[in-house]
Structure 1
Amino acid sequence: MTEISLPEAESKAPDLAELHKIGVAMHLLKPASKEPFRKGWCEKPDTLEKLQSGIVSGHNTALQMGKASKTEYGYLHALDADLRDGSKRADLIKALDAALPESDRAYVVETGSGTGQHYFFFAPEPLPSHTIAKGDGWELALKGTGTYVVAPGSIHPSGKRYEWAKGKRLVPATLDLVPPPKVALGPLRKADPKPQAEPAEPIESTELKAALEQLDPSKQDYDSWRTIGMALNYESGAASWASTCSINGRNAIRAPRMKGVIRAKVI
């Protein structure tokens, strides 16, 4: 076995060992990529030894969100703030402040794209992923159960590094001194069950297929199809629906093909 240089691993991925120690689930990504290094990443996170070995070998790493990352502080989540048009910064900040009023106290990673940030926080329960708000040139999304974000220290396809923002580093040893921000759950909160609500009628496969046919593949990206697939699995209870773990990569070019895959699973 190749000897692992722990200092080198730590220098490339700051705080990885400490985050792993408190219960944050992680897995390796391909070098300079957002794609998982292997299938089944959400079923079995990588061990710390494997992570450190992979980092030294040039692999990127990912932090798993929601249910997989249960810690004594709560479940780790992130708000993904993506600003593609700098002139729309005020709109994005307004949406961010509404979703996370104490965002200035959050732990923040500057993404390698140079146009986005990940705002980490802990929630008392695992939350589902969804888009919170979006506009022309910007989007704010919650990264929850079943998703991951690229870890600091990793290299973006552009060659730039994901890094903790100055003064915003998530250091487990000081979390008791600097509490995670209070999150105004609002749209993030799981729906409260209605008292004496009747069970919902099951949706017929013909209805699902009809609804799917109404979707325009050109307007759906990879994450949209993955969310649709998870919803189909939930509604139909179809054990044949492939786990989201088996879908690696986020290339939007593959989105139209996803429709055919999902449709085949429904049929």
Structure 2
Amino acid sequence: MVSKKKILLVVILAIVAVMAVAGVYFMTSYNEGKETFSGEQNVLVLCTDPSENRPGIGAVDMAFVINLKDSSIGNITPVYPGGLAHPTLKPTADMQAEGLNQWYLHDSLWSSDLENGTKIAQEIVKYHTNISTDMVVVVTPTAIDAMLNAVGPVQSNGQEVSNVSSIDFLREDQSNHGATRGDAIENLADGIRDAADKNGKKGDLIKAALDQYSQGNIKVTPEDKFAKFVTYEGINSILG
């Protein structure tokens, strides 16, 4: 099991980005958010690879479920997409034309309908892990690249991450250094966080996250519920 707060930088950054958008609603949303998010919630994080040809935001390379208990991050459960299929949903005609005979988590965001795709991902994760999730955060390599550039230089698993895309680095970490996909993402997230602290670039990191959210490279569903979460939790408890 991945240790508390160790990865999920992607979630933290998305929260910060959305917070900047949702902050105007703080006074009216706090009590509603408190009512909504007191207790236990689960957030599904989908790390995507847009290089595969499809109408949607990209293939799901890796997923995590983050457990939230009031204002604290609890367990983080890695979910490897390989072989995880929807129990009943049949692939669309264009998916079948690509040789898919089941609707896998890897292909859950196939269509351009993000809300429906994240719902499919949640159903697949629920079926295979028995974990229900309340929100979904989708993060692309473009967003991670922007964060790397904002805080660099970054060290990950004893290597400097420079002049390379994040997804290429993750693949190299797996093939050449024996890291699992989950470990590779965890190491890179740690490296970005540590570099932001060491180089005094936390503000740059937040700005990069906001820019990536506004450009659609970090997406959240449902947005209204996530805004309530942000105003309830507050930036200090999230980044602490």
Per chain length, whose mean CA-contact separation is higher, i.e. which structure has more relative contact order (CA < 8 Å, sep 6+)?
Answer: 2
Taking structure 1 as the reference length, what is the TM-score of the superposition?
0.22
Taking structure 2 as the reference length, what is the TM-score of the superposition?
0.24
Relative to total residues, which structure has the larger helix share, 1 or 2?
2
